[in-house]
């Protein structure tokens, strides 16, 4: 019989489905709500989440959702906890557990993600609240002399220790070393840095005896820097990303999911489709997008209940397109 962790991974990595990243912190949610004229109050944040989490039919395309601490403790308009709203439809609830990337004075321009203190106790509580996977994000910046190997390795160590704690708590670790899109770097440079980052990640996971088959890797696609002047060519992105993944991710890994990382909704979808077409891979690949799934639904909603139906229709269109892209069917 599969373990709790194995069952969760199988549910998360279903072919033709993907994950929604709905884990913006209370500090970052205003970036979503301010443009539509909605104040970031606990109730408005709850309504914003409900727009997506309670969308009828989402289970056809969604296998999991990453939640924020506040959201995991909230309920829909009928009083049903969001974790139950999801799990009752076969969607695995997840939780962001890191405390954010913090500047390091000795390494200008680089960050180290914090949050290990008290993590074991928090994971126990999150499991009781219904979470079955967690996410920890490290941030890797590309610059003239960045990143340093020291900070790549330091973030990989944090990710490995976090993953160990998750598996002890029967929570699947999603390990996310995001190579940031912002910058003047070429796609060739992005491939080199992403390969180095994932190599370090896997080495640390193996060194600290993390079970790779019940670990999900969340990674950036290999794309040119936003200020590089290079075009975003899906075939080039797919070839670079596929090379990087095949060179670094062991066959036994539980799965690979992509963040959109500042790409437009259309770019993220077409790049995912091109990557999937270069398969099959030893592990399932799919999406775990935030903004790329939320727009244009949030703009249609604009905080008004009378717009919920049309907003959800737009959300479902984005979900359906990305589910198709995850198997190269566009």
Q: What is the CATH number of the domain that holds 172?
A: 3.20.20.70
pLDDT score at 277: 98
pLDDT score at 143: 95
Give the chain's domain count.
Answer: 1
Instruction: Let me know if residue 242 belongs to a domain.
Output: yes
Instruction: Let me know if residue 330 belongs to a domain.
Output: no
Question: What is the C-alpha to C-alpha distance for residues 82 and 58, in angstroms, rounded to an integer?
Answer: 14
DSSP 91: P
CB atoms within 10 A of CB 302: 14
pLDDT score at 8: 98
CB atoms within 10 A of CB 313: 12
Specify the pTM. Answer: 0.97
Closest CA to 293 of 8, 17, 90, 86: 17
Q: Is the C-alpha dihedral spanning 46, 220, 248, 119 positive or negative?
A: negative
Instruction: Let me know if residue 110 belongs to a domain.
Output: yes
pLDDT score at 262: 87
Instruction: Let me know if residue 192 belongs to a domain.
Output: yes
Instruction: Let me know if residue 113 belongs to a domain.
Output: yes
Instruction: Kindly report whether the peptide bond that precedes residue 200 is cis, defined as omega within 30 degrees of 0.
Output: no
Q: Kindly list the catalytic residues.
A: 176, 218
Instruction: Give every residue of the chain whose pLDDT is below 50, as ranges.
Output: none
pLDDT digits (tens, 9 = 90+) for 16-37: 999 999 999 999 999 999 999 9
Instruction: Let me know if residue 109 belongs to a domain.
Output: yes
CB atoms within 10 A of CB 292: 25
Instruction: Let me know if residue 120 belongs to a domain.
Output: yes
DSSP class per residue in 229-265: -----HHHHHHHHHHHHHHHS-TT-SEEEE--TT--H
Instruction: Let me know if residue 197 belongs to a domain.
Output: yes
Which residue range is the domain that position 266 belongs to? Answer: 4-325
């Amino acid at each position: 019989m599969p373990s709790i962790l194995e069952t969760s991974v199988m549910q998360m990595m279903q072919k033709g489905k993907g994950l929604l990243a709905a884990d913006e912190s209370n500090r970052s949610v205003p970036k979503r709500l301010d443009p539509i004229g909605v104040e970031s109050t606990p109730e408005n944040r709850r309504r914003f989440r409900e727009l997506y989490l309670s969308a009828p039919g989402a289970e056809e395309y969604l296998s999991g959702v990453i939640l924020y601490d506040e959201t995991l403790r909230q309920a829909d308009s009928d009083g049903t906890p969001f974790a139950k709203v999801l799990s009752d439809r076969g969607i695995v609830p997840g939780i962001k557990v890191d405390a954010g990337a913090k500047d390091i004075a000795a390494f200008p321009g680089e960050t180290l993600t914090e949050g290990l203190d008290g993590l074991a106790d928090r994971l126990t509580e999150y499991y009781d609240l219904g979470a079955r996977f967690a996410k920890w994000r490290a941030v890797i910046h590309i610059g003239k002399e960045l990143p340093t190997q020291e900070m790549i390795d330091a973030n990989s160590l944090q990710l490995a220790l976090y993953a160990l704690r998750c598996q002890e708590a029967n929570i699947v670790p999603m390990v996310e070393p995001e190579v940031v899109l912002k910058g003047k770097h070429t796609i060739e440079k992005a491939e080199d840095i992403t390969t180095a980052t994932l190599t370090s990640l896997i080495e640390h996971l193996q060194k600290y005896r993390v079970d790779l088959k019940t670990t999900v890797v969340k990674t950036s696609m290999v794309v040119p820097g936003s200020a590089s002047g290079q075009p975003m060519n899906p075939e080039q992105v797919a070839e670079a990303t596929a090379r990087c993944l095949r060179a670094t991710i062991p066959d036994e890994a539980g799965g690979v999911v992509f963040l959109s990382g500042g790409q437009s909704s259309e770019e993220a979808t077409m790049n995912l489709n091109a990557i999937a077409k270069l398969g099959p891979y030893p592990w399932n690949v799919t999406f775990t997008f935030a903004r790329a799934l939320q727009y244009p639904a949030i703009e249609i909603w604009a905080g008004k209940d009378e717009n919920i139906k049309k907003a959800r229709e737009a959300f479902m269109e984005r979900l359906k397109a990305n589910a198709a892209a995850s198997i190269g069917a566009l």
